[in-house]
Amino acid sequence: MNILAINTSDDVLSVALKLNDEILSKQLRAERNHNQSVLIMIDQIFTNAGVEPEDIDAVAFGVGPGSFTGLRIAAGVAQGMAFGIDVPVVPVSCMAAVAQKQTCDKVIVAIDAKRSNLYWGRYVRNSNGLMELSGEERLSSMMDLDISGEGWCGAGSGWDMHAEKLVQMSQQHLEWVKNQTPQASEIALLGEEGLIQGSGRDACLAAPIYHSSYFT
């Protein structure tokens, strides 16, 4: 299965092509012109892979949380690509993508939502090596983050900013990994699984998940 994946949820833009068992990816740090940059990156990755857009089966994109403008760009580009070649889009949680990058099998992802709030979720690796959400993704005060249980590690911008307090709250030794952001390579993996599980949708339904705490 061939999947194009796009992530523009923060200032590190990334695109990836999953061609059966191989993943090709490109990253670029950009403060502006995300829409132009990501289109150039998509063209480059198709050229480097030696495939045409018509060869892909779906377009996966980071649906949020993230930058208001960045999420709109990812959804819009995914929609345009999918319309053009008549394939479905697959929305993928940016937090699930962060979890998928980690080596530990139980990950608490926390994304900073400003004013001591966090967008967070708990993910557990399944038998196929993919992260699955345990419970639901939530937006809450940092004090309401569920860090109970053993064997968890942390990742995401919420940990980068509040790790000391969160570790104190856990009352146990809890590892966390710095500077973890969603990348298109993980979105491609999760997007393929989402397509298999029936999460693909018509291109006209491509839309980000917004929350006012993330408007930038």
CATH assignment at residue 77 = 3.30.420.40
Is residue 107 over pLDDT 90? yes
Residues 86 and 7 in one domain: yes
Domain count, the chain: 2
Lowest pLDDT segment from 8-12, 22-26, 95-99: 8-12
What average pLDDT does the segment 200-215 reach? 75
Domain with 25, as residue range(s), is: 2-93+182-214
Residues 198 and 165 in one domain: no
Q: What is the dihedral of CA 166, 167, 168, 172, to 10 degrees?
A: 140
Helix (H) or strand (E) run with residue 160 in it = helix 157-170
Q: Which residue has the tokens 């500077």?
A: 179
**pLDDT at site 171:** 73
Q: How far apart are CA 25 and CA 99, in angstroms?
A: 18
Residues 47 and 123 in one domain: no
Is 172 within 8 Å of 195 (Cβ atoms)? no
Residues 111 and 167 in one domain: yes
Secondary structure (DSSP) of 81-147? HHHHHT--EEEEEHHHHHHHH-SSSEEEEEEE-STTEEEEEEEEE-TTS-EEEEEEEEEEEGGG---
Prediction pTM value: 0.93
Residues 143 and 190 in one domain: no
Residues 167 and 100 in one domain: yes
Residues 9 and 87 in one domain: yes
Is residue 30 over pLDDT 90? no
Task: Quickly count: other Cβ atoms within 10 Å of residue 46's Cβ.
Answer: 18
